[in-house]
Amino acid sequence: MEWNNNIVIAHRGAWKKNNFPQNSIASLREAFTLKCYGAEFDVHFTKDRVIVVNHDDDFKGMTIADSTYAELCRKLHTNGEYIPTLESYLKEGMKQNNMKLILEIKMGRTPKKTLALTDAVVKMVKSLNADAWVEYISFSYAALQRILQLDPASKTAFLAEPGEEVSLEKLKEDGILQADYHYTIYKEGGWFKKADAPGITINAWTVNEEKDMRWLIAENADFITTNEPELLFDVINSTCSF
């Protein structure tokens, strides 16, 4: 396998430019075409414990946790797709050997439900032998710790809003080797200089403005998650041409 060597992570797939549904198979395929480092996507449990790919806990007016998969399939994405299952999404992602699948475990209604989803996700990844493709992210620190208990070789990243960030030293101590924080967090605190010593990589989300992309590139951010992967590639190419 030869993974794409760039910093671009397509947030919910590459959907915006071509008006594909977010977190759809179509947006995943478009991220393949662009040759992004990774495509980020989100997972939830349905009422009947099917793991589905969707950002919000609601799909077309139906609460995912209160709906069966069959009920969710009564409505379609705008391009005619059904809401993907994790299984179908991973199988599509495994058809190529260049782009990572950045899997966000969404937080459930209770910590127990979040960990149940975590266990099921890791089981699914392993049953499909998808480990090489998948990197895990979550706002749930406990979910990341559970993943590392189940598979110590997994690559994990902690997501944080401003005010919720964890020190790089703490991440390193717990084996979580990426800070995946809202880009404004990195404006203060010397995060990029600090990251080298403990061996932590820095990812910034969700970065859609050129000026913010240029600032992060100048700071040598390891990854940038964006709704505008085409723009980010243009910025990277123009920066490298100087």
66: left (phi over 0), alpha (psi -120 to 50) or beta: alpha
Say how far apart CA 10 and CA 24 lie, in whole Å: 12
pLDDT in tens, 58-114: 999 999 999 999 999 999 999 999 999 999 999 999 999 999 999 999 999 999 999
Q: What pLDDT does 242 receive?
A: 45
> Rounded to 5 degrees, what angle do the CA atoms 14, 231, 25 make?
5
Q: What is the mean pLDDT of the chain?
A: 96
Q: What pLDDT does 3 receive?
A: 97
The CATH classification number of 8-240 equals 3.20.20.190
Q: Is the pTM of this model over 0.85?
A: yes
Say how far apart CA 106 and CA 200 lie, in whole Å: 23
Say how far apart CA 242 and CA 36 lie, in whole Å: 22
Distances (CA, A) of 185 to 130, 155, 162: 32, 22, 6
**223 has pLDDT over 50:** yes
pLDDT in tens, 101-142: 999 999 999 999 999 999 999 999 999 999 999 999 999 999
- Among residues 37, 38, 134, 47, which one has the least CA distance to residue 86? 134
Q: What pLDDT does 191 receive?
A: 94
What DSSP string runs through 89-121? Answer: HHHHHTT-SS-EEEEEE---SSHHHHHHHHHHH
In the predicted model, what is the mean pLDDT of residues 185-204?
Answer: 89
Q: How far is CA 100 from the centre of its chain?
A: 9
**196 has pLDDT over 80:** no
Q: What pLDDT does 240 receive?
A: 62
At residue 2 the predicted structure's pLDDT band, cuts being 50, 70 and 90, is very high
At residue 195 the predicted structure's pLDDT band, cuts being 50, 70 and 90, is confident
**241 has pLDDT over 90:** no
